Structure 1
Amino acid sequence: MRSIVGKWQLFVDWGNSGNPITASELTFKSDGTWSYQFGGGTWVQAGSIVTFDFTNASGLMYSGTINSISMGGGMGYTGQSGNNSFYCTPSGTKHISIEKSKAEKDDRAIG
Protein backbone atom coordinates (compact mmCIF):
# COMPACT_ATOMS: atom_id res chain seq x y z
CA MET A 1 0.00 0.00 0.00
CA ARG A 2 1.22 3.47 -0.87
CA SER A 3 1.99 6.11 1.76
CA ILE A 4 0.55 9.59 1.41
CA VAL A 5 3.92 11.17 2.28
CA GLY A 6 5.17 13.27 -0.62
CA LYS A 7 3.93 15.87 -3.12
CA TRP A 8 0.51 15.53 -4.74
CA GLN A 9 -1.42 17.59 -7.30
CA LEU A 10 -4.96 18.29 -6.06
CA PHE A 11 -8.05 18.46 -8.30
CA VAL A 12 -11.43 19.50 -6.83
CA ASP A 13 -15.00 19.35 -8.02
CA TRP A 14 -17.26 21.41 -5.73
CA GLY A 15 -20.84 20.35 -6.46
CA ASN A 16 -19.68 17.37 -8.55
CA SER A 17 -20.25 19.22 -11.79
CA GLY A 18 -18.13 16.73 -13.71
CA ASN A 19 -15.55 19.42 -14.42
CA PRO A 20 -12.84 19.20 -11.76
CA ILE A 21 -10.40 22.10 -11.56
CA THR A 22 -6.70 21.99 -10.89
CA ALA A 23 -6.09 23.27 -7.38
CA SER A 24 -2.80 23.38 -5.47
CA GLU A 25 0.15 21.09 -4.99
CA LEU A 26 -0.01 19.53 -1.52
CA THR A 27 3.01 18.30 0.44
CA PHE A 28 2.31 15.60 3.03
CA LYS A 29 5.06 15.21 5.63
CA SER A 30 5.86 12.13 7.72
CA ASP A 31 5.11 14.04 10.96
CA GLY A 32 1.34 14.11 10.18
CA THR A 33 1.27 17.66 8.85
CA TRP A 34 0.79 18.88 5.33
CA SER A 35 1.19 22.21 3.56
CA TYR A 36 0.33 24.09 0.40
CA GLN A 37 0.80 27.67 -0.82
CA PHE A 38 -2.06 29.02 1.33
CA GLY A 39 -1.57 27.05 4.55
CA GLY A 40 -1.93 23.43 5.53
CA GLY A 41 -3.15 21.23 8.32
CA THR A 42 -2.91 17.73 9.70
CA TRP A 43 -3.48 14.35 8.11
CA VAL A 44 -3.93 10.72 9.13
CA GLN A 45 -3.75 7.52 7.11
CA ALA A 46 -5.18 4.21 8.33
CA GLY A 47 -4.62 1.53 5.73
CA SER A 48 -5.99 2.89 2.49
CA ILE A 49 -8.16 5.57 4.18
CA VAL A 50 -6.80 9.13 4.25
CA THR A 51 -8.26 12.16 6.04
CA PHE A 52 -6.87 15.69 6.19
CA ASP A 53 -8.04 19.04 7.51
CA PHE A 54 -7.18 22.70 6.97
CA THR A 55 -5.94 24.98 9.77
CA ASN A 56 -6.94 28.07 7.74
CA ALA A 57 -10.47 26.85 6.85
CA SER A 58 -12.20 25.73 10.03
CA GLY A 59 -14.27 22.58 9.56
CA LEU A 60 -13.05 21.78 6.03
CA MET A 61 -12.23 18.07 5.79
CA TYR A 62 -11.13 15.82 2.95
CA SER A 63 -11.49 12.04 3.27
CA GLY A 64 -10.86 9.32 0.74
CA THR A 65 -8.83 6.33 -0.27
CA ILE A 66 -5.34 5.93 -1.66
CA ASN A 67 -4.12 3.31 -4.10
CA SER A 68 -0.91 2.79 -6.03
CA ILE A 69 -1.51 5.67 -8.47
CA SER A 70 -3.90 8.19 -6.91
CA MET A 71 -6.09 9.18 -4.01
CA GLY A 72 -9.59 10.55 -4.06
CA GLY A 73 -12.83 10.92 -2.20
CA GLY A 74 -15.13 13.56 -0.82
CA MET A 75 -14.68 16.89 0.92
CA GLY A 76 -16.72 19.52 2.63
CA TYR A 77 -17.37 21.43 5.81
CA THR A 78 -18.36 19.50 8.92
CA GLY A 79 -22.00 19.98 9.84
CA GLN A 80 -23.01 20.82 6.26
CA SER A 81 -24.32 18.59 3.54
CA GLY A 82 -22.64 18.64 0.20
CA ASN A 83 -21.85 16.77 -2.94
CA ASN A 84 -18.17 17.45 -3.58
CA SER A 85 -15.23 15.34 -4.64
CA PHE A 86 -11.46 15.50 -5.01
CA TYR A 87 -8.64 13.46 -6.39
CA CYS A 88 -4.86 13.76 -6.24
CA THR A 89 -2.08 12.35 -8.34
CA PRO A 90 1.62 12.32 -7.55
CA SER A 91 3.19 15.62 -8.59
CA GLY A 92 4.65 15.46 -12.06
CA THR A 93 1.99 13.09 -13.41
CA LYS A 94 0.94 14.11 -16.92
CA HIS A 95 -2.76 14.96 -17.33
CA ILE A 96 -5.06 15.79 -20.18
CA SER A 97 -8.45 17.41 -19.91
CA ILE A 98 -11.64 15.40 -20.05
CA GLU A 99 -12.59 17.30 -23.21
CA LYS A 100 -9.30 16.43 -24.90
CA SER A 101 -9.64 12.79 -23.90
CA LYS A 102 -13.16 12.66 -25.35
CA ALA A 103 -12.01 14.36 -28.56
CA GLU A 104 -9.14 11.88 -28.96
CA LYS A 105 -11.58 9.00 -28.45
CA ASP A 106 -13.93 10.49 -31.07
CA ASP A 107 -11.01 10.92 -33.50
CA ARG A 108 -10.08 7.23 -33.15
CA ALA A 109 -13.71 6.21 -33.83
CA ILE A 110 -13.82 8.01 -37.18
CA GLY A 111 -12.97 5.89 -40.11
Structure 2
Amino acid sequence: MNEMNETGAHCHGDAAARVAEISGLFVSIRQILAQMIDGIGVPDARTPKTIIAKLSELQSAHLKVLAAEEAFHAQQDAVGGADTIDMETIRADIRGQLDRIRAAQDAGPLSGGAE
Protein backbone atom coordinates (compact mmCIF):
# COMPACT_ATOMS: atom_id res chain seq x y z
CA MET A 1 0.00 0.00 0.00
CA ASN A 2 2.86 2.37 0.75
CA GLU A 3 4.30 1.72 -2.67
CA MET A 4 1.12 3.07 -4.31
CA ASN A 5 1.29 6.18 -2.12
CA GLU A 6 4.86 6.84 -3.19
CA THR A 7 3.92 6.33 -6.82
CA GLY A 8 1.00 8.73 -6.46
CA ALA A 9 3.24 11.36 -4.88
CA HIS A 10 5.77 10.86 -7.67
CA CYS A 11 3.07 11.30 -10.34
CA HIS A 12 1.82 14.45 -8.60
CA GLY A 13 5.37 15.80 -8.60
CA ASP A 14 5.69 15.02 -12.29
CA ALA A 15 2.39 16.74 -13.06
CA ALA A 16 3.33 19.82 -11.04
CA ALA A 17 6.71 19.94 -12.77
CA ARG A 18 5.01 19.65 -16.15
CA VAL A 19 2.60 22.50 -15.35
CA ALA A 20 5.53 24.64 -14.20
CA GLU A 21 7.45 23.78 -17.39
CA ILE A 22 4.50 24.71 -19.62
CA SER A 23 3.94 27.95 -17.70
CA GLY A 24 7.63 28.79 -18.13
CA LEU A 25 7.41 28.09 -21.86
CA PHE A 26 4.45 30.45 -22.17
CA VAL A 27 6.45 33.19 -20.44
CA SER A 28 9.48 32.56 -22.68
CA ILE A 29 7.43 32.57 -25.89
CA ARG A 30 5.66 35.79 -24.88
CA GLN A 31 8.98 37.47 -24.09
CA ILE A 32 10.52 36.45 -27.42
CA LEU A 33 7.47 37.64 -29.36
CA ALA A 34 7.46 40.95 -27.47
CA GLN A 35 11.16 41.45 -28.24
CA MET A 36 10.60 40.73 -31.93
CA ILE A 37 7.62 43.11 -32.06
CA ASP A 38 9.60 45.82 -30.24
CA GLY A 39 12.52 45.25 -32.62
CA ILE A 40 10.35 46.06 -35.60
CA GLY A 41 8.98 49.16 -33.92
CA VAL A 42 6.04 51.28 -34.99
CA PRO A 43 5.57 51.16 -38.76
CA ASP A 44 5.39 54.37 -40.75
CA ALA A 45 4.87 55.31 -44.40
CA ARG A 46 8.41 54.11 -45.29
CA THR A 47 8.03 50.68 -43.68
CA PRO A 48 8.07 47.92 -46.33
CA LYS A 49 4.88 45.89 -46.68
CA THR A 50 6.75 42.68 -45.88
CA ILE A 51 7.81 44.10 -42.51
CA ILE A 52 4.25 45.23 -41.78
CA ALA A 53 3.01 41.74 -42.71
CA LYS A 54 5.61 40.14 -40.40
CA LEU A 55 4.62 42.51 -37.59
CA SER A 56 0.99 41.51 -38.08
CA GLU A 57 1.96 37.82 -37.94
CA LEU A 58 3.93 38.35 -34.74
CA GLN A 59 1.07 40.24 -33.10
CA SER A 60 -1.36 37.53 -34.14
CA ALA A 61 0.95 34.83 -32.77
CA HIS A 62 1.28 36.80 -29.54
CA LEU A 63 -2.50 36.96 -29.14
CA LYS A 64 -2.81 33.21 -29.83
CA VAL A 65 -0.16 32.44 -27.19
CA LEU A 66 -2.00 34.63 -24.67
CA ALA A 67 -5.29 32.87 -25.43
CA ALA A 68 -3.66 29.43 -25.17
CA GLU A 69 -2.04 30.39 -21.87
CA GLU A 70 -5.35 31.64 -20.46
CA ALA A 71 -7.11 28.45 -21.57
CA PHE A 72 -4.36 26.29 -20.06
CA HIS A 73 -4.51 28.05 -16.71
CA ALA A 74 -8.33 28.01 -16.71
CA GLN A 75 -8.22 24.26 -17.29
CA GLN A 76 -5.73 23.83 -14.45
CA ASP A 77 -7.98 25.86 -12.14
CA ALA A 78 -11.02 23.80 -13.16
CA VAL A 79 -9.23 20.50 -12.53
CA GLY A 80 -7.79 21.67 -9.22
CA GLY A 81 -4.55 20.54 -7.72
CA ALA A 82 -3.73 17.24 -6.11
CA ASP A 83 -4.39 18.95 -2.78
CA THR A 84 -8.11 18.91 -3.59
CA ILE A 85 -8.12 15.13 -4.09
CA ASP A 86 -9.14 13.25 -0.95
CA MET A 87 -7.16 10.03 -1.27
CA GLU A 88 -8.75 8.53 1.84
CA THR A 89 -12.23 8.92 0.35
CA ILE A 90 -11.06 7.27 -2.85
CA ARG A 91 -9.50 4.38 -0.90
CA ALA A 92 -12.69 3.94 1.13
CA ASP A 93 -14.74 3.87 -2.07
CA ILE A 94 -12.45 1.25 -3.60
CA ARG A 95 -12.54 -0.84 -0.39
CA GLY A 96 -16.35 -0.69 -0.44
CA GLN A 97 -16.48 -1.82 -4.06
CA LEU A 98 -14.06 -4.67 -3.35
CA ASP A 99 -16.13 -5.72 -0.32
CA ARG A 100 -19.27 -5.87 -2.49
CA ILE A 101 -17.44 -7.96 -5.11
CA ARG A 102 -16.17 -10.36 -2.42
CA ALA A 103 -19.64 -10.62 -0.89
CA ALA A 104 -21.12 -11.41 -4.28
CA GLN A 105 -18.50 -14.11 -4.89
CA ASP A 106 -19.06 -15.63 -1.43
CA ALA A 107 -22.82 -15.76 -2.00
CA GLY A 108 -22.30 -18.53 -4.49
CA PRO A 109 -24.08 -19.14 -7.75
CA LEU A 110 -27.46 -17.63 -8.39
CA SER A 111 -30.42 -19.93 -7.81
CA GLY A 112 -32.20 -21.08 -10.90
CA GLY A 113 -30.81 -21.50 -14.35
CA ALA A 114 -30.08 -19.04 -17.04
CA GLU A 115 -33.15 -17.89 -18.89
TM-score, normalization by structure 2? 0.23
Q: Bigger radius of gyration, 1 or 2?
A: 2
Considering fraction of residues, name the structure with more helix: 2
Considering fraction of residues, name the structure with more strand: 1
TM-score, normalization by structure 1? 0.23
